[in-house]
Chains A and B, each alone.
Chain A
Amino acid sequence: MKSHILPAIKLTFCCLLLLAVLYPLAMFGLGKAVAPNGGKGEVVEANGRTVGYALIGQNFSDDRYFWSRPSAVGYNAAGSAGSNKGPSNPDYLATVQARLDTFLVHNPGVRANQVPSELVTASGSGLDPHLSPQGALVQVARIAKVRKLNVKDLELLVAQHTEQPLLGLFGTATVNVLELNLALDNLK
């Protein structure tokens, strides 16, 4: 074993140079050139100021906005986590029921079976930037009433901001909530 110590240490330093210095630095340099916002993360600007990151969800709980999903970390992107609640946990099921009740109170006329489950469940990261199209559409009536807008216009807005599955073939359809709410503010 002794005869291996020195070569192993030297080889480790060589590998450190290649894998922990050159590799990340090369990728960092490349990212500056090709990645959105030079690799610092794509930001969203509105009214001359930065209002968020394109990929990171934000908390929307105001009736004037499309609500985002519940989050275990309150959309604080200095951390990230899911609720890690098990499917049969009674406290958790009570929380879900309470979220549903709150949603139904704020959205009169909507029935429980119109509410997609994402609106009453927390995402894995706590930072999910998306809703499903149904998750946005079910909120249209409320927003139309609060903002005194036409339901048809809002449905069109949701449709315009719906991202179809990849190539129309793979995955889910999504609506970016921050983007949708920005467009909503510009609608007036």
Chain B
Amino acid sequence: MNTELLGVLVIFLLTLALAWPLGHYIARVYSGERTWTDPIFGPIERLFFRVSGIDPNHEMTWVEHLKALLTINLIWFLMTMFVLMNMGWLPLNPDGNPSMSPDLAFNTTISFVVNCNLQHYSGETGLSYLGQIWLMFLQFVSAATGLAAAAVLFNALKTRTTTPLQGLGLGSGVRVGLGNFYNYFLKSSTRILLPLSILVTIILMLNGSPMTFEGKDTMVGLQGDTVQVSRGPVAAFVAIKHIGTNGGGFFGANSAHPLENPNYLTSLLELFAQFIIPAAMVFAFGFYLRRRKLALMIFGVMTIGFLMLVIPNIVFEMKGNPAFSAMGVDQSLGAMEGKEIRFGAAMSGYWSILTTVISTGSVNAMHDSTMPLSGMNELLAMMVNAFYGGCGVGLLNFFVYLIIAVFIAGLMVGRTPEFLGKKVEAREVKIAMITALLSPLLIMGGTAMAAWAQVQDPTLPWLNNPGFHGFSEMLYEMTSSNANNGSGFEGLGDNNPFWNISTGIVLILGRFIPIIGPIAIAGLLASKKYIPESAGTLKTDTTTFGVMVFSVIAILTALSYFPALALGPIAEYFSM
């Protein structure tokens, strides 16, 4: 077998194999059972809680969870705005890089707080090392926020035999404790993200990723040209960038940069690192709820969706650019524009989908230069945003599709829609539909606005490519923002007030509504009476239901996005 394909296949299977035990471990962490990390991190966590005046055993309702989540995110937003707009004079700035303009700082802050890492700057010139370290901090805590939200979902879907009482509160009039947000948040950071990041950092450093606080180096190269090389604390940053499915690069070229991703081995490592937690979370869901079959159904749907997107991309990229055929160059290595020799076309094709189904958004090859239909698949991956999905939030997004599928399937077979022993009623379905329909609204609305502005004033210096591909650049930027992905068709000139502010708003809505919606649904379900399974129950852990969920995802996505895709990548494909 071709060595390029073999590498991709092996890392895919290896990740899945290791996701199972990690999922088991994560389920134990969230259910508060003993793990081998207790003696190491237990004392630190207790100290942090004591200092912060937090009782980690205080049970929160879903509303309290959301209040805690939004408050701490708001605090990070304000602190980050301050750092980014003042880092020019703050310490750790050996290259003398300037502070950010307000609109760029707004966009950068939001996009790192929401785990997106859309970067309208280049790390080499746009950030001091203090800024980099600060953003690295956000990569930890934003991922931990997503994981904590997923932990709340786990808790809410637990089978409750006794219904907790207490008159007041939202929902159906009962307050149900769903664990403690700060506890889930801190444990996600210390027990899951930090240990994995340390491991990845060490391997990256051994392979030559720098970890230094010295500034740019200058020397005369072999041919006599003056060579400058940007450096920095790269390894620690790149580790959490993947473990937390953040994807924001230390350097402008992200993981295509040789110092962020020195060789084939590190590239395999980074593919593994971004995939492992989203995959493990699905298994953790099964272990936590003791419903492995349901988790396997979810995992199956996600995997089929992933393979349907990734296989074509590998094929397109390995085949090369059809527009080159007239020139007669040898394309046996594939479409090499925007790709690195040490990774090759197959791995770059695989990465392009992995990073978009999961909301990582790091790249090892430039998506703007991938083939038209590869670009379409990258867009589709972000439009669905639930085939594995980002740290924690992928499962939340999938949960929304699940609720819609339960409702539709229930109507089709004439049974009461139920999920895990709880009735799914009008209110839950309404929330699910609003959450699901928000994405097309933001993506289409945003793209329409941008396209309108571009048509009004064709001199706007936004697009790097003419025609259909130019439209795809705008569509991609809005889709990436809404999915909190962060990759881009990077040719787009996006560091200006229009893009900084519009995508900033899309980012906030695209992050918090899809967290609030599912948590609300789960919180409402948790407060309902448990109905034991009977012959009349719609079974959700079967292949049939898996097909149903997949169809719901496919139909929703196709109906929402086909017209836009037809104007962009599909039109480009047929024009070549």
Contacts and interface: CB of A to CB of B under 8 A. Distances in A.
B307 interface: no
B290 interface: no
B91 interface: no
Contacts of B338: 82-84, 121-124
A43 B330 CA distance: 33
Interface in A140-188: 165-166, 168-172, 174, 178, 181-182, 185
A30 B340 contact: no
B211 A28 contact: yes
A103 to B, nearest CB: 9
Nearest to B201: A27
A50 B225 contact: no
Nearest to B219: A50
B410 interface: no
Contact of A165 (B3, B51, B464, B575): B3
Contact of A31 (B227, B235, B331, B370): B235
A21 B331 CA distance: 47
B70 interface: yes
Contacts of A80: 122, 124, 230, 251-253, 256-257
B75 A185 contact: no
A40 B333 contact: no
A19 B258 contact: no
A84 B51 contact: no
Given A82-B256, A87-B321, A170-B268, A30 B202 contact: yes
Contact of A115 (B44, B330, B365, B372): B330
A48 to B, nearest CB: 13
B314 to A, nearest CB: 14
B227 A58 contact: yes
Contacts of A125: 251, 253, 256-258, 340
B256 A52 contact: no
Nearest to B492: A84
B328 to A, nearest CB: 4
A16 B124 CA distance: 23
B214 interface: yes
Interface string A97-122: 10010000000000111111110111
Contacts of B185: 11
Contacts of B141: 12, 15, 19
A100 B469 contact: no
Contacts of B575: 88
B554 to A, nearest CB: 27
Nearest to B134: A20
Nearest to A116: B330
Contact of B341 (A18, A31, A38, A123): A123
B211 A39 contact: yes
Contact of B54 (A7, A86, A166): A7
Given A7-B53, A41-B210, A55-B208, A113 B216 contact: no
A78 B230 contact: yes
A8 B145 CA distance: 13
Among A15, A83, A112, the one with the most B-chain Cβ atoms within 10 Å of its Cβ is A15
B67 interface: yes
Contacts of B304: none
Secondary structure at the A interface, as helix, strand, loop or mixed, is: mixed
B89 to A, nearest CB: 19
Given A40-B212, A89-B469, A113 B347 contact: no
Contacts of A52: 219, 221-222, 227
B361 to A, nearest CB: 15
A171 B330 contact: no
A42 B208 contact: yes
B197 A14 contact: no
B230 A93 contact: no
Q: Which of A113, A118, A130 has the most CB of B within 10 A?
A: A118
Contact of B264 (A5, A90, A166): A166
Nearest to A178: B222
Contact of B365 (A24, A55, A97, A124): A124
Contacts of A185: 222
Nearest to B48: A14
A41 to B, nearest CB: 4
B341 A130 contact: yes
Contacts of B438: none
A80 B216 CA distance: 13
A31 B212 contact: yes
B161 interface: no
B576 A87 contact: yes
A85 B491 contact: yes
B257 A89 contact: no
Interface in A33-66: 34-36, 38-43, 46, 49-62, 65
Contacts of B235: 27, 31, 35, 39
Interface in B207-252: 208-214, 216-217, 219-223, 225, 227-231, 233, 235-236, 251-252
A123 B258 CA distance: 11
Nearest to A112: B328
B426 interface: no
B223 A100 contact: no
Interface string B188-206: 0110001001100110011
B113 to A, nearest CB: 12
B499 interface: no
B56 to A, nearest CB: 11
B225 A59 contact: yes
A131 B341 contact: yes
The 7 A-B pairs at the shortest CB distance, nearest first, are namely A84-B491, A124-B256, A170-B7, A86-B469, A31-B211, A82-B366, A80-B253
6 contacts: A27-B198, A31-B235, A39-B235, A88-B575, A113-B328, A129-B258
Given A10-B52, A84-B366, 15 more contacts: A14-B52, A20-B134, A36-B208, A40-B210, A61-B223, A80-B253, A81-B253, A85-B369, A87-B321, A87-B572, A124-B253, A124-B338, A172-B3, A182-B222, A185-B222
